[in-house]
Structure 1
Amino acid sequence: MSTTADFEFYAELLKRQHAIEGTIAGYKAKIVDSERELEECLEMAPIAALSSMGQLWIFLMWRHDHSILTFPNEITSEIFLHCLPVYSDHFFAGTSRSTSDPLRAPMLLLHVCREWRSIAVSTPALWERLYLDLWNLPDGFCEADNLEQFLANWLARARARPLSLFLEVSEDDGKQGSLCTILDRLSSRTQVLKLAYVSFWIQHYEGNTPDFPLLRNLSLASSDEYMGNVALEGYPIQICSVASQLQELELDAVAPSLFAIPWETLAVFTGRCLRYDDCVDVLRQAPSLVECTLEETYPDSFTTGTPAVSHPHLKSLKVFGDCTIFRWLTLPALEKLEVDLDSDGMDESLLPFIIRSASSLLKLSSANLLPLESLSAMAALTDLTLVDLFRSNEYLDEFFRHFDRTNHPRFLPQLQVLEFTGRFPLVNTILVDALCSRSAPTQDGRARLRSFRQIWVDGTPLQFNFEQGVGLALAELAGKGMDIYIGPKRKI
């Protein structure tokens, strides 16, 4: 072949090479662009779909770090538990729960890969807290066969674990039967039962009585309207009448008379938005009650005829809101009292009640300024917490003058823990003299103050210069073993 022919052939090959390289470069550019679009899609779609941080973490961990598959199954199971969504709704706020939502744990974990599905299915703790919002479940989910299959699968995954069941009930008549199916199917395994929006189904409930042999904690919550005078056939509702282990009951705007409750086993009661006579009736019907919390109680037309009640076993009482309820209560065994009350009527209601219960009261927490003569009656008190006390310097000075054992040896003689919470620092010689007088027990049995805490709320300066003598005296008390803290609330 001639030299000219060789050169032309080489030139043709070089031209084809450049063309192919150009085509490849174009394809590579398109691949890079496509990969970038795919990456953006993979990153953005789950962020939009998965609202909780736990579920977003699941996606990112799977997408970017497959080394999770090398973890021991026990560690992966524990990680999965932290991915359960925590809801901030009104009735179940702050509770982590499992749902039927395919975009949330634990259901989401079943569809990532076979390894994760196997771990999730073999982790019973993932399935022991079931939350179902019957308002928003699709109609197909509530069909009899589908619902039965879902519940059967859930029970199998929970294995022998007792269940916590959270239900928000729909006002859709077509879904009323779903509630009965769920309760009948799960009642024998349910330890905690919380029903919200019960006003939407209570008049449709057929009155069957499922057996709850494990039920220990029951919550019934209505909508904003109080359910007190509801006309029902088959009243009261028998839904939880067979619950021999029931220990804790919470009623939110639901009259206790609407339901047949095994009151004799009850140890803890919480009532919100109830009438005075409802609360008194609960105390009268629950002889084993030891803890009671009442929030936002209010009167009705029958209040004036409500007979008083003396409960022989109640040891802990918390009351927030109206203080009139105290007029009907006598609690001779009361050991712990926490109050945050409207000031109207406090002198006529709270203070006589405290005097009636003072002989047994050991711990008192109050967001109200209590008269010193009432505190003087609390000879057994060991722990005292007063919130927002520093709004009254005159009261505060008078309190510490009484607290000085040198001047008033019979004032709170057994107090061992004292805590104040307020807006402004108060450290002066009146305080120090009172603390010094309490630094050692007395020969006649008066107790030593073990702990003093003065907590400054937000907005208080973090730096405070004590007078030299005051600072030295506090340091000496701390050296003798008194636990002293003065400053802002510590962050955990």
Structure 2
Amino acid sequence: MKPTLTEPPMTIAAVERQLRDLALLQKSLFAEVSRLKSQANRDKSAIISMFPTEITQLIFFFCLPDLTREDLDEDNRVQMKRTAAPLVLGHICRIWREIAWGTPELWHKLTLYMFPRNQALQAWMVANWLDRTAQFPLDITIYSYASKAVKHRMALRDDHAISFFHVLKRESCRWRSLRLRVPADSLFYLNKVLNAAGRRSEPLSPVLEELSIETFSVGLRHFIPLQIWHLAPHLKMVQLGSHAELNEIITNWRNLTSFSVGRLTVKELHEVLSKSIYLVNCRVSRLMPSPDQDNDILVHHHLRRLELLKDASPEGRAFASFLANVSLTRLEELDVTLSHFIDVYVSFIQRSRCPLRRMKVYFAHHVPQSGVVELLRATPSLEVLHICIRPDNAWVMKTIGSKFLRLLSRPGSSYQDVTTRYDEDIEPAGGEEVPLLPRLRDLELDGPVNFDWTVLCNFLESRYYTEPTVNGDVGRTPFCTLRSFRVTIHDTKPIPDTYLDEDVIACLRGLTADGFAVSIEYPDEGDKSMKSPTMVDLIEVSATRCETLRYLESLITD
């Protein structure tokens, strides 16, 4: 009986001693883990401290976000918090905080929401932010969301003055760029604030180079003239929204390189070009006629891109009167709405002798196909052509139907229109006729469809580009330059079943296999019985249903 009574307590005591030893071992292991973590943090901090301050500053600088138009369009506060990157960098560790707080280059960009909940707090934060910029030029963005402003009818008025703007105005001598995205009604107040202490002898912001004012309407139906003649005499970029217009053309904007405005008269546009001799980009959303315009030919040698989107006069007379009295010798990109005066457009291009590379054409009126062909023949250097026709102008699409595609086809091929004649001034290569737009690289059509799919495939096969072989011989004519074709179809009429026959499918499959970019889209929404057939609808009417399915799925993916 004695072993039975004495052995269990001894065994239990031995196990308890082991548990105490394990507890001591666990405690020592936890202490070792804490020591290793502390050592790792010290080593990490040592590595960070080993970086030269200049290298760390550059790394921080590349961490700053670049705002896009989409960032300002949507109510996305999480995304907009990226603009506080300098503050975030300062919260990592003491070393980073010292570097971030002492680097003025990180703080020269300031992005502010226009209608904060706590204006006093925002004004205090703006003042502290500006203290860290030293004397660096400031890039300021003030934004508000259209959805909220329209819903709550927000606007910046005298009784709703944001205090942070007054803080910014005290540093106006350091403004380098000012970007506003505000309700249109707010321009009244901004005009008053900006002109409160302005004098012609003392510009409000002498170093301001970029001014962008984008507006959206909150019940406003008229234009607001901006009095910025004293604001910045050395602007390089001016972009005004649809509700803002200039009170006068600045006489000393000789450094201006980019100019975009909602509306302008023909005379004012001539004045801008004559006084801004280094202007490179010019965009006018709405051009209005001038009864007393100058008829002298204006020659400009630096303008590379011109956009004339809408003509406020009947039948496009404002565009015609402007182009009839201007010569742009370096023009490379042209976005314009065609009018009845097609001969004026042709004369403008021939007079300018410009190396036009890209052209986007809007059809607002019916233009004969002969006029379009004459215009394109005057631009043999054209590489990118985008033709855009609104769905409600479906009758205009006849201008760029099957016959138009035949004119673009390679001469000598079985697809080329036998009645086509080419400009005699263009010297043929190797005795062969030169096609319309011999250097065409990208073609995009946007509007109601009015061409036969077979004619389209014939055109693509005759002009598409293939990579050279090892010996440099492509085995094709010099006019096979086309690299991409895109069509966006807005059409309410059904497409005949014969449009997608086996030959068309085989042609498009072969082109995509060679790397040619083809994109066909049907963006129309609404009643399915009224809109154009989708890709699935086209599959249903095809004889080779499965093969067409695989091919069209690849088109959608591309």
Name the TM-score class by shorter chain.
0.5 to 0.7
- Paired residues of 1:198 and 1:220 also in contact (CA < 8 A): no
Match of residue 311, structure 1, among 297, 300, 305: 300
Q: Is 1:283 aligned with 2:273? A: yes
Partner of 2:407: 402
Partner of 1:455: 487
Give me the whole-angstrom Cα distance separating, in 1, the residues matched to 2:116 and 2:249: 26
Partner of 1:238: 230
Give me the whole-angstrom Cα distance separating, in 2, the residues matched to 1:488 and 1:366: 19
- Paired residues of 2:204 and 2:230 also in contact (CA < 8 A): no
Amino acid at match of 1:267: T
Amino acid at match of 2:169: L
Superposition deviation, residue 443 in structure 1? 12
Q: Tell me: CA distance 1:105–1:254, structure 2 relative to 1, closer, same or farther (3 Å).
A: same
Superposition deviation, residue 422 in structure 1? 3.5
Q: Residues 56-455 of structure 1: matches in 2 within 5 Å? A: 93=73, 122=100, 128-131=109-112, 133=114, 147=123, 150-157=125-132, 163-167=138-142, 170-172=156-158, 179=165, 181-188=167-174, 190-194=176-180, 197-202=186-191, 205-208=196-199, 209=202, 212=205, 215-220=208-213, 224-228=221-225, 237-241=229-233, 243=234, 246-252=235-241, 253-258=243-248, 260=250, 262-299=252-289, 303-308=290-295, 309-322=298-311, 323=316, 324-329=318-323, 330=326, 331-339=328-336, 341=337, 345=340, 347=342, 350=345, 352-357=347-352, 359-368=354-363, 371-388=372-389, 391=394, 392-393=397-398, 395-406=400-411, 407=418, 408=420, 409-410=433-434, 411-424=436-449, 426=451, 428-439=453-464, 447-455=479-487
Q: Is 1:487 aligned with 2:520? A: yes
Give me the whole-angstrom Cα distance separating, in 2, the residues matched to 1:162 and 1:336: 33
Give the root-mean-square deviation of aligned CA atoms.
Answer: 5.2
Superposition deviation, residue 283 in structure 1? 1.4
Superposition deviation, residue 127 in structure 1? 7.2
Secondary structure of the corresponding residue to residue 385 of structure 2: strand
Amino acid at match of 1:199: F
Superposition deviation, residue 205 in structure 1? 1.9
Partner of 1:37: none
- Paired residues of 2:448 and 2:489 also in contact (CA < 8 A): yes
Q: Tell me: CA distance 1:225–1:348, structure 2 relative to 1, closer, same or farther (3 Å).
A: farther
Q: Tell me: CA distance 1:152–1:428, structure 2 relative to 1, closer, same or farther (3 Å).
A: closer
- Paired residues of 1:207 and 1:237 also in contact (CA < 8 A): no
CA deviations over 1:460-487 (Å, ceiling 9, x no partner): 99999732223334444555x5624142
Identity of aligned residues (%): 18
Secondary structure of the corresponding residue to residue 273 of structure 1: strand
Q: Tell me: CA distance 1:457–1:94, structure 2 relative to 1, closer, same or farther (3 Å).
A: farther
Q: Tell me: CA distance 1:398–1:179, structure 2 relative to 1, closer, same or farther (3 Å).
A: same
Q: Tell me: CA distance 1:270–1:464, structure 2 relative to 1, closer, same or farther (3 Å).
A: farther
- Paired residues of 2:176 and 2:210 also in contact (CA < 8 A): no
CA deviations over 1:317-336 (Å, ceiling 9, x no partner): 11211142342232232111
Superposition deviation, residue 271 in structure 1? 0.9
Superposition deviation, residue 453 in structure 1? 1.2
Q: Residues 1-80 of structure 1: matches in 2 within 5 Å? A: none
Q: Tell me: CA distance 1:388–1:170, structure 2 relative to 1, closer, same or farther (3 Å).
A: closer
Give me the whole-angstrom Cα distance separating, in 2, the residues matched to 1:119 and 1:263: 42
Give me the whole-angstrom Cα distance separating, in 1, the residues matched to 2:77 and 2:250: 28
- Paired residues of 1:385 and 1:418 also in contact (CA < 8 A): yes
- Paired residues of 1:266 and 1:286 also in contact (CA < 8 A): yes
Secondary structure of the corresponding residue to residue 456 of structure 1: strand
Amino acid at match of 1:405: R
Amino acid at match of 1:469: D
- Paired residues of 2:303 and 2:330 also in contact (CA < 8 A): yes
Partner of 1:42: none
Superposition deviation, residue 278 in structure 1? 2.4
Q: Is 1:469 aligned with 2:474? A: no
Give me the whole-angstrom Cα distance separating, in 1, the residues matched to 2:73 and 2:477: 46
Give me the whole-angstrom Cα distance separating, in 1, the residues matched to 2:306 and 2:211: 19
- Paired residues of 2:361 and 2:387 also in contact (CA < 8 A): yes
Give me the whole-angstrom Cα distance separating, in 1, the residues matched to 2:351 and 2:476: 25
Amino acid at match of 1:278: E
Aligned length: 393
CA deviations over 1:15-74 (Å, ceiling 9, x no partner): xxxxxxxxxxxxxxxxxxxxxxxxxxxxxxxxxxxxxxxxxxxxxxxxxxxxxxxxxx99
Secondary structure of the corresponding residue to residue 406 of structure 2: helix
